[in-house]
A and B are shown apart, each in its own frame.
Chain A
Amino acid sequence: GQQLNQSPQSMFIQEGEDVSMNCTSSSIFNTWLWYKQEPGEGPVLLIALYKAGELTSNGRLTAQFGITRKDSFLNISASIPSDVGIYFCAGLIQGAQKLVFGQGTRLTINP
């Protein structure tokens, strides 16, 4: 079945640093979604990408849909303490409604 390889699994950074994480797959996806999950909460949708090559921003977050449709990255600029959490990528293949999730990237920020 489809799998998403998300890296890195965890990041420990200083406040103010930029963050980059990515997801890759051997399968082609039609939609890429990036979610953030905080402890004890459900995932919150951050950015949705629908077209190959699409670059979308949401405040300090920027995500891109890879040209090959097999990868996506998420960047966070000038990190702040409230960025702490687990970030998940998720993909949808053509005609499907079930999301395929990455393993998550746990972000820890030292003030």
Chain B
Amino acid sequence: GAVVSQHPSWVICKSGTSVKIECRSLDFQATTMFWYRQFPKQSLMLMATSNEGSKATYEQGVEKDKFLINHASLTLSTLTVTSAHPEDSSFYICSATRTNSPHYEQYFGPGTRLTVT
């Protein structure tokens, strides 16, 4: 159990366009999901915490109008990169915690490689 999927696994888009990334918990309900960004050879950087049915909480320095997060159900959160620029190219990873879990372990998706040309 505790499988998280992401779609797409990779995407190439042109500058100025928007890209939506989906994160799904396949075999459990996830009240809380997280979105991370990872640069080459670096650790994961938390962008935002997404709670089902409420607004996401963004980390300092992350533009909420640029990285739109919607957590519409207990199994799906989406991240939309709006008006993408080449500097937004990165590896985006989501994670999810089981609803009612006392320990808050995070289970990660396989990641989405975004390339903005």
Contact of B105 among A42, A45, A98, A102 (CB under 8 A): A45
Q: How far is the CA of A39 from the CA of B33 in the complex (A)?
A: 22
User: Could you list which residues of chain A lie within 8 angstroms of chain B, going by C-beta atoms?
Assistant: 31, 33, 35, 40-45, 48, 50, 88, 90, 92, 96-99, 101-104, 106
Q: How many interface contacts (CB-CB < 8 Å) are there between A and B?
A: 54
> What distance in Å separates the Cβ of B2 from its nearest Cβ neighbour in chain A?
8
Chain B contacts of A90 at CB under 8 A? Answer: 106
Question: Which residues 27-43 of B sit at the A interface, judged by CB distance below 8 A?
Answer: 32, 34, 41-43
Q: CB distance B103 to A48 under 8 Å?
A: yes
Q: B32 touching A97 by the CB < 8 A rule?
A: yes
Residue of B nearest to A90 (CB): B106
Give the number of chain B interface residues (Cβ < 8 Å): 25
Given contacts A40-B111, A40-B113, A42-B93, contact A99 B106 (CB under 8 A): yes
Most buried by B among A31, A98, A104: A98
* Cross-chain pairs A/B with CB under 8 angstroms, 18 sampled: A31-B103, A31-B105, A33-B105, A42-B111, A43-B44, A43-B93, A44-B108, A45-B108, A48-B103, A88-B44, A92-B104, A97-B32, A97-B49, A97-B104, A98-B49, A99-B34, A103-B42, A104-B43
B1-47 contacts to A, CB under 8 A, are 2, 4, 6, 32, 34, 41-44, 46
For A104, list chain B residues within 8 Å (CB): 43
User: Of B97, B106, B110, which one neighbours A41 at CB under 8 angstroms?
Assistant: B110
Within 8 A of A (CB), among B80-117: 91, 93, 95, 97, 103-111, 113
**A106 and B42 alpha carbons, distance in the complex (Å):** 11
In the complex, residue of chain A having the shortest beta-carbon distance to the beta carbon of B111? A42
Given A48-B103, A50-B103, A97-B32, check contact A35 B108 (CB 8 Å): yes
- Is the CB–CB distance between B105 and A48 below 8 Å? yes
Q: Which of A97, A103, A106 has the most CB of B within 10 A?
A: A97
